[in-house]
Amino acid sequence: MSTTGTLDLGDLATGPSQQWGNIRLVPLLRPEPVPGLRLHDQVNESPVTVAGSGRRSVYVGYVPHAYVATWGDDPEPSAAHGTQLLDADARAPRERVRLAFQHRRVQRLGRNRSRFLPLHLAVDGLLSLGFGGPPIAWAEWADKTVRDGLSPREETVYRGEHVSDLQEALRVFEIHPDQCGVVVHVADALAAVHVVPHPEDYRVLHPTLLLDMFGEQLFVYGLLHFTVRALHEPIDPGSVRDLADLRRAVEASRAASATGHDELMLPSLTGADHAFEWLYERSGFTLGRFLPSFRGDRDNHIGEVITAADGRVAYLKTLRLSNAQVRRGRLLRALEEADWSLEGAARALGTDRSGLITRIERAGLAHLLNRALLERHRAARARRVGRYTP
C-alpha cells in the first residue's frame, strides 16, 4: 500500500540543542515510551525485561536496517536488509544480506557489539528497495538491468566518523533521561533524524550514529569551519523585577528556542511531501519506507518509519540525499512511472529521447542502458555538437 503525505513526529518534544563545532544535535524527548516495541534481543546487549510479565512475546522486536549480527544458528554474520519487525522470540530477520567477504573482520569485532554494514551497501539497499528495475524488457535497457534490477549500484557516501566534528559531538553529547531520538544538523543543514520507541534503545543505538551514512554534500558542509551557536531567544532584562519573573523569562526563552527549531529547521523533513510505501503490519505496528518528491529546490530525505496503532512514530531513521542523488532519483522515478519507456519518461521530464539519454549518462546511470544504444547516441551527439561538449 502506498500513500503520499507529510511526516508527523507527533508526541516527540524538541529538547534544548547541544552543539559542538559545526554539529548541532537536538534531542527528541518522549513523555512516555511507546509500549510494545523494543529493539530485538539479538541487537540489544542486555535482553529486554518487560515489567509485570515474564513472557517475552508481549513485545515486538525491531532490527534496524543494515544491522550486522550473527543470527540464530547461522555461523556467518549477516545484515538485516531493511528495518524489520519480528516477534520477540524469532531467531533471525527474514531478509538478510550475507557478508562472507567481511567474515574475518566481523569476528574480530566480537559478538556483542553494535555494528552496521559498510554504508555504500546500506544506501544502495535503500535506493534499490525503492526501485526494482524495469518490468518490461524494453530493448533500450541492458540485459543485466532487466534481469537484476538496479543493483549492484554505487553511491558515494561518508561514514559519520568522517563528517568533521560529528565524532566528538556524539561523544560529548549529554543524553537526556527521557530521550528517544535525535536530530543531527551539520552546519545547520538537517542531516538525519533518528527516533526509537524507548530511551534504553536510544542509549544502545546512540554511538551507532557514527556508523551512519551521510551524503557527500553533508561531508562538504562538515568541512565548513564555523561554530554553530545555541538557538537563542534573548530575554528582556527590562521585564525582570523578581526571581519569579526571571524564571518565567527563562522558561519562555527555552520554549521559544524549541519552537524556533521546530518551525525553522525541522520542516526540511516534516514540511515536504513523501511517498510512503507501507510494507507490513505486526501487532499494530506498521513498517513503511518513504521516498521524497525528488524536487531540486528542496531538501530530500529518504527513510524508514514504524508507526504504532495510534499513529505515533515509534521508529524513524532518515538519510538526506545529496544533489546528485536527487537527480538520479528523479530520473529513476520518471522512468518507473513511465514503465521504463524512454519516450514516456522524456515527455514527463519535458525533454526528448536523446536529451534523456544524456541526462541518464551524466547522472552516472549509463550502465543501465543497452551498450549499442549508448554508442549510437554518443556518435550522434559527437556529430551534432562536436566531441567536447560543454
Least distance to other proteins from the beta carbon of 210, Å?
17
Nearer to other proteins, 15 or 134 (CB): 15
Query: φ and ψ at 231, to 5 degrees?
Result: -70, 125
Interface residue with other proteins among 75, 110, 234, 350 (CB under 8 A) is 234
Should residue 31 be labelled a site residue for other proteins when binding is judged by CB under 8 A? no
Q: Which of 329, 283, 274 is nearest to 305 (CA)?
A: 274
Interface residue with other proteins among 230, 255, 372, 379 (CB under 8 A) is 230
Should residue 260 be labelled a site residue for other proteins when binding is judged by CB under 8 A? no
Q: Which residues contact 88 (CB under 8 A, 6 or more apart)?
A: 38, 40, 41, 48, 56, 57, 58, 59, 60, 61
**Run of H or E residues at 62:** strand 60-63
| Residue found by looking up cell 558515494 in the block | 156
Pair 306, 290: CB distance under 8 Å? no
Least distance to other proteins from the beta carbon of 172, Å?
6
Should residue 384 be labelled a site residue for other proteins when binding is judged by CB under 8 A? no
Pair 26, 259: CB distance under 8 Å? no
Among the listed ranges 36-44, 253-261, 289-297, 371-379, the one in contact with other proteins (CB under 8 A) is 253-261
Least distance to other proteins from the beta carbon of 16, Å?
5
Among the listed ranges 110-118, 130-138, 154-162, 167-175, the one in contact with other proteins (CB under 8 A) is 167-175
Should residue 49 be labelled a site residue for other proteins when binding is judged by CB under 8 A? no
Count residues binding other proteins (CB under 8 A).
27
**Run of H or E residues at 125:** helix 119-130
Count the Cβ atoms, other than its own, within 10 Å of residue 346: 20
Should residue 243 be labelled a site residue for other proteins when binding is judged by CB under 8 A? yes
Should residue 241 be labelled a site residue for other proteins when binding is judged by CB under 8 A? yes
Interface residue with other proteins among 14, 17, 42, 114 (CB under 8 A) is 17
Q: Which residues contact 378 (CB under 8 A, 6 or more apart)?
A: none
Interface residue with other proteins among 98, 105, 247, 362 (CB under 8 A) is 247
Should residue 27 be labelled a site residue for other proteins when binding is judged by CB under 8 A? yes
**Run of H or E residues at 282:** strand 274-282
| Residue found by looking up cell 536530530 in the block | 183
Least distance to other proteins from the beta carbon of 174, Å?
4
Q: Which of 155, 85, 86, 162 is nearest to 125 (CA)?
A: 155
Binding site for other proteins (CB under 8 A): 15-18, 27, 172, 174-177, 229-230, 232, 234-235, 237, 240-243, 246-247, 249-250, 253-254, 257
